[in-house]
Amino acid sequence: MNAPLITPRFRIAPSPTGYFHVGGARTALYNWALAKRLGGTFVLRIEDTDAERNRPEWNQGIIDALAWIGIHADDSTFEGPYFQSQYAEHHVAEAQRLFASGTAYYCDMTPDQIQERAKAEGVTGYAGWSRELGLGPGPGRVLRFRVPEGSTVVNDLVRGEVTFDNATIEDFVLLRGNGSPMFLLANVVDDVTMRISHVIRAEEHLPNTPKQQMLWEALGHEPPVWAHVPLLVNEQRKKISKRRDKVALESYRDEGYLSDAMVNYLMTLGWSPGDEEIQPWATMQDAFALEDVAKSPAFFDLKKLAAFNGTYIRAMSVDEFVAATEPWCAQWREAHPEAVWNAEHFAVMTPFIQQRATTLAEAPGVVDFMFLPNPQFDETDLSKAWAVEDAAALVAETIAAFETCDWTHEAMKTAFDAIADAHGMKPGKAQAPIRVAITGRTVGPPLYEAMELLGRDEVLRRLRALPGGVHVA
Ligand code: GLU
């Protein structure tokens, strides 16, 4: 079972929760980068011992989320998934081995008795009261680890040497009163059995690490290399959590974040690939080192993530962008049965959409007016349109000019610039009523290009139909 370590073995050990936490994704990527570069193995172990949290679709969700960030189960670096619940007998057997060797002992005190005695003796928690009673197993008796005296030094590649005074660590429970294994025991026995050489995980597990290291040693093994990567915090510097923040990797996937952008951004949470943070995976895989990971919490900055995504979106070719946005465009079409979609027009507008969309999901909305029978007017923007000086005259003169000008965006621009000029106005400012008439909004993609595609008749119809003002046509 315990073959010599030839190649490093990494792992992630998520508990199924129904979604994959972005922090878990970052940890997975750090493990994956090292496993790939060092020719090692990346083990996926699903810690599914909580029967209530054990649904097959959740396990598939973990595998799908990993695949989305480039960690594919069919890659030769990948091993698993293993399911912790299948190894309960082995966990118990290993605990019995510790009992036989005297490093674990049975305790028959109930939580109430422990509380009472602790109160009476003025101590906190369980002070090893059953250590020397020589109890054997029995109903309701828990098996506790006999924490040795002294201190435990955890060598952590991120945090350095962290020393824990063993006096602060109580004799923790390995097997519950009903004989079932506790998390710490299962976690360590699995890591030992799976010959894990590197445990890289979130900082919140650091307080468990001295106990786990003691267990490794008691089971007769050299502890692994430990590395605890910094917490992810929100704008208020609070640990990001399901209650407060959007932490599910899947929700970013569903909103149209690109996996390459997400991967790149996640890698930078606590680590920097150099002066230029936007980097392809291969470069990050080559450069990533645990020694360079920061100790301080990493800000999970949604604005920065959006900026990363925008950068990746703009780097796509038209064909790539059209293909990538299609699922969201399909959703949009479904939600707007009245719309007449024109794939060719969407493709022509793509470079402009790429300038404006920070997610793929936003893409159809940037040019929705081109496909809807009528623009959806934003009330504020409509007022802004009419607040422009000479708005009615500008619209009327534009209608007249557009009835006859060449139907090219250049010709429309020339015609409109002349109208604005005659009113002593900057074209950008004078354009607002025209833009709102065509698109429903004051901001959007280049107007003349869009109008060229919409066609003369439709543009004139919309200009004549601009609601809410007195204008002659
Ligand atoms: N199952 C634990 C969790 O999801 C993982 C513990 C570990 O990585 O050692 O928090």
pLDDT in tens, 132-158: 999 999 999 999 999 999 999 999 999
197: pLDDT strictly greater than 50: yes
Instruction: Give 5's pLDDT tier (boundaries 50, 70, 90).
Output: low
If one residue of 20, 45, 47 were mutated to test the ligand 1 pocket, choosing by the most ligand atoms within 8 A of its CB, it would be 47
In this prediction, residues 437-458 reach a mean pLDDT of 97
Indicate which atom in ligand 1 lies nearest the CA of residue 212. 9
Query: What is the predicted pLDDT for the residue at 468?
Result: 80
Could you tell me which of 23, 10, 79, 36 has the C-alpha nearest to residue 285? Answer: 36
Task: Report helix, strand or coil for 119.
Answer: helix
Whether the CB of 456 sits within 6 Å of ligand 1: no
304, 265 Cβ separation under 8 angstroms: yes
* Position 397 in a domain: yes
Task: Report helix, strand or coil for 181.
Answer: strand
309, 258 Cβ separation under 8 angstroms: yes
473: pLDDT strictly greater than 60: no
Query: What is the predicted pLDDT for the residue at 54?
Result: 75
What is 70-87 written as a DSSP string?
T--TTSTTEEEEEEGGGG
Q: Whose CA is nearest to atom 7 of ligand 1?
A: 13
- Residues of 99-119 as b/e, b for ≥16 C-beta within 10 angstroms? beeebbbbbebeeeebeeeee
pLDDT tens track for 34-43 = 999 999 999 9
Which listed residue (242, 295, 426, 429) is catalytic?
A: 242
pLDDT tens track for 216-254 = 999 999 999 999 999 999 999 999 999 999 999 999 999
* Position 370 in a domain: yes
Crossing angle (nearest 10°) for helices 432-439 and 379-387: 150
Instruction: Give 91's pLDDT tier (boundaries 50, 70, 90).
Output: very high
* Position 124 in a domain: no
In the numeric block, the tokens 């923007």 are attached to 381
424: domain CATH number is: 1.10.10.350
**Helix (H), strand (E) at residue 186:** helix 183-193
- What amino acid is encoded at 97 in this protein? R
Instruction: Give 256's pLDDT tier (boundaries 50, 70, 90).
Output: very high
Query: What is the predicted pLDDT for the residue at 471?
Result: 44
Task: Report helix, strand or coil for 145.
Answer: strand
Whether the CB of 170 sits within 6 Å of ligand 1: no
Strands 78-83 and 104-107: unpaired
Say how many C-beta atoms besides its own lie within 10 A of residue 294's C-beta: 13
Whether the CB of 24 sits within 6 Å of ligand 1: no
Mean pLDDT score of the chain: 96
In this prediction, residues 123-135 reach a mean pLDDT of 96
- Both tokens of 317, joined, read 């070719």
Global pTM reads 0.92
Indicate which atom in ligand 1 lies nearest the CA of residue 204. 10
In this prediction, residues 11-29 reach a mean pLDDT of 96
Whether the CB of 205 sits within 6 Å of ligand 1: yes
| CA 174 to ligand 1 center in whole angstroms | 16
pLDDT tens track for 312-358 = 999 999 999 999 999 999 999 999 999 999 999 999 999 999 999 99
- Can you tell me the distance from the alpha carbon of 106 to that of 299, in angstroms, rounded to the nearest whole number? 45
Q: Whose CA is nearest to atom 5 of ligand 1?
A: 13
Whether the CB of 198 sits within 6 Å of ligand 1: no
Whether the CB of 15 sits within 6 Å of ligand 1: yes
Share of the chain above pLDDT 70, in %: 98
pLDDT tens track for 176-185 = 999 999 999 9
- Can you tell me the distance from the alpha carbon of 50 to that of 325, in angstroms, rounded to the nearest whole number? 39
Whether the CB of 43 sits within 6 Å of ligand 1: no
| CA 106 to ligand 1 center in whole angstroms | 26
* Position 62 in a domain: no
| CA 235 to ligand 1 center in whole angstroms | 25
pLDDT tens track for 459-468 = 999 999 998 8
Active site residue 242: yes
* Position 77 in a domain: no
If one residue of 27, 184, 205 were mutated to test the ligand 1 pocket, choosing by the most ligand atoms within 8 A of its CB, it would be 205
**Helix (H), strand (E) at residue 400:** helix 391-404
| CA 192 to ligand 1 center in whole angstroms | 15
| CA 14 to ligand 1 center in whole angstroms | 5
- Both tokens of 459, joined, read 């543009």
Q: Phi and psi (nearest 5°) for 219?
A: -80, -5
Query: What is the predicted pLDDT for the residue at 51?
Result: 76
Structural domain count, the chain: 1
Whether the CB of 14 sits within 6 Å of ligand 1: yes
Query: What is the predicted pLDDT for the residue at 1?
Result: 45
* Position 459 in a domain: yes
Structural domain boundaries enclosing 340: 319-465
| CA 468 to ligand 1 center in whole angstroms | 60
412, 448 Cβ separation under 8 angstroms: yes
Q: What share of the chain is helix, strand, coil (3-state, %, to 5)?
A: 50, 10, 40
Whether the CB of 47 sits within 6 Å of ligand 1: yes
Q: Whose CA is nearest to atom 6 of ligand 1?
A: 13
* Position 365 in a domain: yes
pLDDT tens track for 94-109 = 999 999 999 999 999 9
- Can you tell me the distance from the alpha carbon of 463 to that of 457, in angstroms, rounded to the nearest whole number? 10
| CA 208 to ligand 1 center in whole angstroms | 10
Query: What is the predicted pLDDT for the residue at 21?
Result: 97
Query: What is the predicted pLDDT for the residue at 399?
Result: 98
Indicate which atom in ligand 1 lies nearest the CA of residue 47. 1
Instruction: Give 56's pLDDT tier (boundaries 50, 70, 90).
Output: confident
* Position 436 in a domain: yes
